[in-house]
Amino acid sequence: MKVEIITIGDELLIGQITNTNAAYLSKHLTAIGLEVKWATTVGDDADDLKKALSAALKRSDVVITTGGLGPTHDDITKNVAADYFESDMVFKPEIVERLKHEFAKRGIKMAAVNEGQATVPEKASIIENPVGTAPGLLFEKEGKKCIILPGVPSEMQAICEATVFPMLKKQERTTGQKTIRTTGIAESTLFERLDLNRIEQFAKVAFMPRLSGVDIRLTAKGKHAEELEEKLSNGMRLIREKVGKYIYGYDDEELEEAVAKLLFEKQKTVAVAESCTGGLLAHKLTNISGSSDYFERGVVAYSNEAKMDVLGVPRETLEKHGAVSPETAVTMAEGVRQHGGVDFGISTTGIAGPTGGTKEKPVGLLYVGVANEYRSFSKKFVFFKDRLINKERSVQAALNLLRQELIQA
């Protein structure tokens, strides 16, 4: 089944935002076995949108649009689609009631302009929006589907997960994919260690370097789900044999989720002491629902006073070795572990940049400290010049050290 995506909005054509909606839809539609053939972007222009809809519905079985469904004057998608499918507009009071109820729950009076959301094309089915005010719409004509979604990524994604993907998923799959996520190993090293000829007897291999590490994507073709499963699991087995210890998860699993799973499973607790990562390590560890079971506290000790007061780093350590040093990393980890009364203390100290480096301690330098019941140690990393990327990579390195410790715990 061929699918096509139309993303709508001037903000995409002036480059104000990157088209993450197209990437999200492409990825998830491919993952449920559909073939995405075209993706088109048009501005908030009725004529262009109508032309794009017409071309797409000729070529493809399913067309998904995002954007232009809000309550204001520049949101034209609903009317253009109604026009294209020759549908009258009708007012559905039950939509207003639901919206009023949602606003009331949050203690906010609903602005009158939102009532417009309840005027919808008669020929469309309503797709409920679990997290916002603009409902999605589904038109069906001559065996083809046109699915109209809002452009706010969180709303679009929530509707897709609740309704659109389950609805489109109901046919036999002939393509299957699996992503194997690694961290702590370079793309070129992976390439050298893996026996690509053997793996590609089962599935095509693609390497995708990311800030979080390198993902390996397997794509298998076959006649039915069992064949796909078997080919993918053969491919995965060959990869695990060679580079298993660098694999932290599969598909969309993030490193922090893998760490959280281990913490839950082994009933261990953690506290973190951050300098250069500035709270990002705590943020990642608390992104998981239920994290209060394992996360006790985090300290972002930017000043030396905070390092001494809250973490108990001795003044002499800071004076002798400096704030960015293996010694400081270790005492930070030990301090937060002891104060938090937890199993693991993890610390970061480094130079995030882009300024503040010296010849001995360049921008991108990082020490991660680890303390547990039996030992404390630090590990050194050197990254690049970009502050935000350095924070991301530093947190990834710290989480991976914690993951390795947990596997042994």
Query: Which residues within the stretch 131-190 sit at the binding site for its own copies (CB under 8 A)?
Result: 131, 152, 154, 158, 177, 179, 186-189
The Cα–Cα gap between 405 and 347 comes to 14
Taking residue 377's Cβ as centre, other Cβ atoms within 10 Å add up to 15
Size of the site for its own copies (CB under 8 A): 119
Nearer to its own copies, 135 or 353 (CB): 353
* Of the candidate residues 100, 144, 268, 297, the single one contacting its own copies (CB under 8 A): 297
Do 348 and 357 contact (CB within 8 A), yes or no? no
Do 308 and 315 contact (CB within 8 A), yes or no? yes
Nearer to its own copies, 38 or 123 (CB): 38
Q: Which residues are CB-neighbours of 356 under 8 A, at least 6 positions away?
A: 363
CB of 332 to its own copies, least distance (A): 13
The residues with which 137 forms a beta bridge, in sequence order, are 126, 148
CB of 28 to its own copies, least distance (A): 7
- Residue numbers 40-59 binding its own copies by CB under 8 A: 40-45, 48, 52, 55
- Quick one: how far is CA 239 from the chain centroid? 24
The Cα–Cα gap between 127 and 74 comes to 22
For residue 33, state whether it binds its own copies (rule: CB under 8 A): no
Whether the ω angle into residue 354 lies within 30 degrees of 0, i.e. cis, is yes
**Nearest alpha-carbon partner for 383 in 368, 367, 402, 366:** 366
Nearer to its own copies, 123 or 257 (CB): 257
CB of 408 to its own copies, least distance (A): 25
CB of 153 to its own copies, least distance (A): 9
Region from 20-28, 90-98, 226-234, 401-409 binding its own copies, contact rule CB under 8 A: 20-28
Name the DSSP class of 104. Answer: H
- Residue numbers 77-106 binding its own copies by CB under 8 A: 105-106
Nearer to its own copies, 11 or 87 (CB): 11
CB of 236 to its own copies, least distance (A): 17
Nearer to its own copies, 123 or 131 (CB): 131
Q: Which residues are CB-neighbours of 45 under 8 A, at least 6 positions away?
A: 76
